[in-house]
């Protein structure tokens, strides 16, 4: 096994190889003393690290963080008291848009059929009945929409 392939030995020790890879490494180890020695060396190092003493979270630090978490700041209390921004912003934007449309839409209702007809002369017959086609109000609306 080449030196650069020794990363496989670390992964082998960590049981992080596929079954196929692990089998290939096992077969190689059976005939290579250098790689067996390297594998044992890696196992011993891993064992030393995993048995290393644990460092405990200092009690005063734990208490300080817990106190901070349990007692919200003024800014946090303010933000938690109202609807979160991700709801407020789109709701507010919708409200503004609705008011804008209402203010500027005017009282005149634009009929749907002439509007569609003005934009699609090939479909006017399917949208508007024969009687309406010749109705003066319809013709006036269509003229307005066409800038006439």
Partner 1 sequence: MDPRQAFVELIRRHGDKAYNFAYRLTGNEADARDLVQDALLKAFKSRDRYDQERPFDSWLLKIMQNVYLDAMRREKPTVPLDAPREEGARDAVELLPARDESPAEAALRAERDRALQKALDSLPAHYRAAVALCDVEGLSYEEISRIMTCPVGTVRSRVHQGRVLLKKAFERIEGGH
- Enumerate binding residues for partner 1 (CB under 8 A): 6-7, 9-11, 14, 16, 41-42, 44-46, 48-50, 52-58, 61-62, 64-66, 68-70, 72
Long-range contacts of 103-108 (CB under 8 A, 24+ apart): none
Nearer to partner 1, 27 or 62 (CB): 62
Nearer to partner 1, 48 or 108 (CB): 48
Contact (CB, 8 A) for 121 and 115: no
Cα–Cα distance measured from residue 127 to residue 133, given in angstroms and rounded to the nearest whole number = 10
Would you state the structure tokens that stand for residue 61, as one six-digit string? 């630090």
CB of 27 to partner 1, least distance (A): 20
**52 or 81: whose CB is closer to partner 1?**
52
CB neighbour list of residue 36: distance below 8 Å, 6 or more residues apart:
29
Task: Give least dist CB 17 to partner 1, A.
Answer: 9
Q: Which is nearer to partner 1, 49 or 112 (CB)?
A: 49
């Amino acid at each position: 096994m080449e030196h650069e392939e020794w990363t496989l030995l670390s992964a082998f020790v960590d049981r992080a190889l596929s079954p196929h890879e692990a089998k290939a490494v096992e077969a190689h180890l059976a005939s290579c003393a250098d790689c067996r020695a390297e594998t044992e060396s890696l196992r011993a190092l891993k064992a030393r690290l995993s048995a290393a003493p644990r460092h405990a979270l200092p009690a005063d630090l734990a208490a300080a963080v817990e106190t901070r978490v349990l007692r919200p700041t003024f800014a946090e209390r303010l933000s938690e008291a109202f609807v979160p921004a991700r709801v407020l912003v789109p709701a507010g934007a919708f409200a503004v848009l609705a008011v804008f449309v209402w203010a500027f839409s005017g009282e005149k209702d634009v009929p749907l059929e002439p509007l569609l007809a003005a934009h699609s002369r090939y479909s006017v017959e399917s949208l508007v009945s024969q009687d309406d086609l010749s109705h003066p109000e319809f013709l006036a609306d269509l003229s307005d929409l066409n800038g006439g």
